[in-house]
Structure 1
Amino acid sequence: MDIIKVFGTNVRKYRQALGLSQEAFADKCGLHRTYISSIECFRRSISLENIQRIADALDIEPYLLFIENQETKNHL
């Protein structure tokens, strides 16, 4: 399991499920759009504080961002 890919894939999946653009989501998180993009493109590891900010903006528990599901496995 590549945790960075699983995390980035899940962030994108949950963000899109809410119908948010990267820019709108970044504003909701208090982060920059390019930061969100780099997470979703698997180019950045992030701090626990930012993981919590992202989970809060998605209104989910942080651990859900680390669960690799079958769909995620097929895309990696």
Structure 2
Amino acid sequence: MKPRALLAWNVRRIRLKRGMSQERLARAAGIDRSYLAGLERQSKNPTIDVLDRISEALSVHPFDLFVKPSSCASILKTSPHRPKRPHLPRKKR
């Protein structure tokens, strides 16, 4: 797994384990929620200072953000995706 993917996976995994929303973690780390979302999607490349603030907000060592998942770990277990809402037909006017 590449470092950016490891970081994204671990931030999301730890955040969900702590029961934190992206909004709450972003506020605690002093970053924008959309930036955090981009980091979790692997489209943002954070600085060391940002990593330090995120790890502090999550109460983990910065090293923990780059730990490789065990072979039995599954991203699906920590998937933040909510089930999609059922499609409701539009009301006729």
- Using the size of structure 1 for normalisation, the TM-score is 0.90
Q: Give the Å deviation of 1:47.
A: 0.4
Query: Superposition pairs for residues 1-76 of structure 1, below 5 Å?
Result: 1-70=1-70, 71=73, 75=75
- String of CA shifts for 1:5-62, please: whole Å, max 9, x gaps: 1100100001111111101110011100001000101111110000000000000100
Match of 2:87 in 1: none
Could you list the runs of 5+ residues in structure 1 that have no partner in the other structure? none
Q: What value does the CA root-mean-square deviation take over the aligned residues?
A: 1.1
Greater than 4 Å deviation, 4+ residue runs: none
Calculate percent identity across the aligned residue pairs.
29
Q: Give the Å deviation of 1:69.
A: 1.1
Question: How many angstroms apart in 1 are the aligned matches of 2:24 and 2:60?
Answer: 17
Could you list the runs of 5+ residues in structure 2 that have no partner in the other structure? 76-93
Please say which structure displays the higher CA radius of gyration.
2
Q: Counterpart amino acid of 2:16?
A: Q
Which structure shows the higher helix fraction?
1
Three-state SS of the structure 1 residue aligned to 2:14 is helix
